[in-house]
Chain A
Amino acid sequence: MRQLKRIATRFAAGVGVLWGAATLSFAALHVTAGDAALATVAGDGANPTQAVLDRVRADYGLDQPLWQQYLGYLGRLLQGDLGESYQQRVPVATAIGEQLGETVQLALSAALVAVVLAVGTAVLTARRRPWIRSAASGTELVLTSFPTFVLGLVLLIVFSFQAGWFPVSGNDGPAALVLPTFTLALPIAATLSQVLRTELEEVLEQPFILTARSRGMRDAGVRLRHALRHALIQIVTMSGFVIGGLLGGAVITETLFVRRGVGQLMLTATTSKDIPLVLGVVLFAAAVYVVVNLVVDIVYGLIDPRVVTA
């Protein structure tokens, strides 16, 4: 029962966040609506008459009272209608849908690589000799300080231009996915691994670890079976950070490697002032964040019952 109530509260909070995001998005659209009507008819120095402008305003529903426009906007959002792109003349949802596959592929492979690297490094280096820990945390510090585009360029120079192992750009095949994946994954992996090691080191000092060792359990077993299980919870709580890193990083990574995807779409929309498309991508990102956090919250309550009773 408690579990259900907790999930319901979280769900309501998530809906609240999305509603807030939608309201802000509506406000942004409304403030810029005059430009929108002009942008539609004023391409290439045209000089629209008042009648034409009025008709465009009516087409966009800009002549209705504000609350009606707002309710209409929310209603359309609920049906998955994010409006129409100013530049591409297609529904925003369609534009995002066309590019989504590539970005999901990139983001998922990067997330996988990041988690595997972070867990591996943390398990291997937690509570080891000082120089091993320093080497690992030094590497992590440098990796988190690399702006995504610089890291990507380093990988490009070393593995594409010098070694010639991977293609420089494009979307074709798994080989083209490798460098973008690592560009996106390494900074995330570094942050996750820092947090995970701190957590692991705390867990490894707990009495139940001593108990396990006194039963004659091997070090590897203690780390993987006992310590990691506790420490992984910390990783789960960082999913919001991971999503932000993946979606923000996708804009830069896709630009650098000249890949199709939502990030590239977002950048094109920003430069061409395609406000509905920009807001559509942002709302989509917020929705992904909310859904993933909700799932994480539910899973978290199942793994660790203390969360529910607290």
Chain B
Amino acid sequence: MTAITVPAVLPERRGHTAARRRSLRPGVVLGLAFIGLLAVAAAAPGLLTAHDPLEISSAGAFVPPGAEHLLGTDQSGRDTLARMVYGARSSLVMGLGATAIAVTLGSAIGLLAGLANRYVEGAVMRLIDVALSIPDLLLALVVITLLGTGTVNALFAVAFASVPYYARMIRAQTHVVRSAAYVEAATALGLRRSAVIRRHILPNAFKPLVVLATIGVGNAIGAGASLSFLGLGTKPPAPEWGNMLSLGIQYISNDPFMVIVPGVAITLTVLSVTVVGRDLRRRTEGRS
């Protein structure tokens, strides 16, 4: 089944001049700005909202957007903006945490496959084929069935579901680098195998990982929100965009705002990270 694989990153059209490559596109600037805003919300939510995400306002439930509650209140009278701001932390922790775990595990497995003998490599690659034959979300649901629901388990589920992609990429990259002239030269110069791996193979095999991992953070945020939406991840009353959205559906006809606000936030987050990741790829690919 290895012959048929989806390109993990889509091919970009050639022909960019060096100047165009260096220039900052407006979309990228907007993306970076939004990511910056999220980072502030996650690090210091108090800067962006005066309300507590769990506090019940004296103004009551379903208050429309106004001066006191900029995005209104939800069905329990909690400030929607405060819940969004505090929810940013959950999203970023999910995106960065799941990706960090997936990259670490995936790289270890990919390196093992790329550098070990062909029997080990064959076994590892078959395992990766098995994992890739199962849709990501179903794989995540298996992990949740075994571990149980909740924030941490959802994070592990999202991480495990993306491990095979990183493993496959690192293994392929290790192969490319291993047969490169500079690695042969280093070996010919009498460098020890461990030194060749550490000094030459590792840094070069990891180059494209940065791009893939950046786009992966966006996907992980979307996947984490999906799991919370399905009721398997972070549970209410903790503020999380996915569960805010699934709660909002019940009140969609009298207050669509409760659905629109978290929906827009999730989409903008994934979009921003993807735009920045693709720009990163455009830059790195142009250089090599």
Mask of B254-288 contacts with A, CB within 8 angstroms, 1/0? 00100110010011001100110000000000000
Judge whether A285 and B135 touch: CB under 8 Å.
yes
Most interface-central of B3, B127, B225, B275 (chain A CB within 10 A): B3
The answer on a CB contact under 8 Å between B133 and A201 is no
Is there contact, CB below 8 Å, between B134 and A286? yes
Mark contacts of B8-23 with chain A using CB atoms, 8 A cut-off: 1 yes-contact digit, 0 otherwise: 0011110000000000
Measured between beta carbons, the chain A residues less than 8 angstroms from B138 are 247-248, 251, 266, 281-282, 285
Q: For B267, give its contact among A146, A239, A296, A300 (CB under 8 Å).
A: A146
* A269-293 vs B, Cβ < 8 Å mask (1 yes, 0 no): 1110111001101100110011001
Residue from B3, B6, B130, B271 within 8 A of A21 (CB atoms):
B130
Pick the residue among A24, A153, A240, A297 that contacts B5 (CB under 8 A): A240
Interface residues contributed by chain B, number (CB under 8 Å): 53
Interface residues on A, range: 35 or more
Instruction: Give the distance to chain B from A88, nearest Cβ to Cβ, in Å.
Output: 15
Interface string of A1-44 (1 = CB under 8 A from B): 00000000010011011001100100010011000000000000
CB distance from B256 to the nearest CB of A (A): 6
Q: B230 an interface residue at 8 Å Cβ cutoff?
A: yes
Task: Name the CB-closest residue of B to A300.
Answer: B4
Number of A-B contacts (CB under 8 A): 158
B135 touching A161 by the CB < 8 A rule?
Answer: no
Contact between B141 and A255, CB atoms less than 8 A apart: no
Q: How far is the CA of A65 from the CA of B183 in the complex (A)?
A: 49
In the complex, what's the smallest C-beta–C-beta distance from A138 to chain B, in angstroms?
Answer: 8
- Interchain CA distance A243-B256 in the complex, whole Å: 32
Which of A147, A256, A289 interacts with B134 by CB under 8 Å? A289
Tell me the residues in window 215-256 of chain B with beta carbons closer than 8 Å to chain A beta carbons.
218, 222, 225-226, 229-232, 245-246, 249, 252-253, 256
Q: Knowing that A17-B133, A146-B267, A251-B230 touch, tell me 11 more A-B residue pairs with CB under 8 angstroms.
A: A13-B129, A147-B266, A157-B259, A194-B10, A198-B10, A240-B5, A251-B137, A275-B146, A278-B142, A282-B138, A289-B133
Which 10 A-B residue pairs are closest in the complex by CB-CB distance?
A248-B137, A248-B135, A20-B130, A145-B271, A244-B135, A241-B6, A150-B263, A145-B270, A147-B222, A286-B133
**Interface positions of A (Cβ within 8 A of B):** 10, 13-14, 16-17, 20-21, 24, 28, 31-32, 141-142, 144-150, 153-154, 156-157, 161, 191, 194-195, 198, 201, 237-241, 243-245, 247-249, 251-252, 255-256, 266-267, 269-271, 273-275, 278-279, 281-282, 285-286, 289-290, 293, 296-297, 300, 307
